[in-house]
Amino acid sequence: MNRTILVVDDEPRTREGISKTLEQWAQYSIEVISASTGRDAIKIVSERPIDILITDIRMPEMTGLEVIQLLAEMDVKPIVLIMSAYSDFHYAQEAIRHGVINYLLKPIRKKELIEAVERAIAKKEDQEQGQRLTKVIDLQLLEQADFNNERYEPAIEKALRYIDDHIKEKVSLQDVANAVHLNGSYFSTLFKEEVGINFSEYVTRKRIQSAKHLLLQSDMPISLIAEEVGYQTQKYFNKIFKEYEGVTPGYYRKTYK
Where is the domain boundary, 107, 129, 151?
129
pLDDT above 70 covers a percentage of the chain that reads 87
Q: Which of 91, 110, 129 marks a domain boundary?
A: 129
Which pTM does this prediction carry?
A: 0.57
Q: What is the mean pLDDT of residues 9-19?
A: 94
Residues 250 and 144 in one domain: yes
- 140: domain CATH number is 1.10.10.60
pLDDT tens profile 154-195: 899 899 999 989 999 988 999 999 999 999 889 999 998 888
Asked if the model's pLDDT at residue 145 lies above 80, the reply is no
109 shares its domain with 83: yes
Number of domains in the chain: 2
What is the full DSSP assignment across the chain?
A: --EEEEEE-S-HHHHHHHHHHHHHHHTTSEEEEEESSHHHHHHHHHHS--SEEEEES--SSS-HHHHHHHHHHTT---EEEEEES---HHHHHHHHHTT--EEEESSPPHHHHHHHHHHHHHHHHHHHHHHHHHHHHHHHHHHHHHHGGGGS-HHHHHHHHHHHHTTTS---HHHHHHHTT--HHHHHHHHHHHHSS-HHHHHHHHHHHHHHHHHHH----HHHHHHHTT-S-HHHHHHHHHHHHSS-HHHHHHHH-
Question: For the domain that residue 19 is a member of, what is the CATH number?
Answer: 3.40.50.2300
Domain region containing 219:
131-256
Looking at the structure, do residues 187 and 139 belong to the same domain, yes or no?
yes
One domain, residues 125 and 7? yes
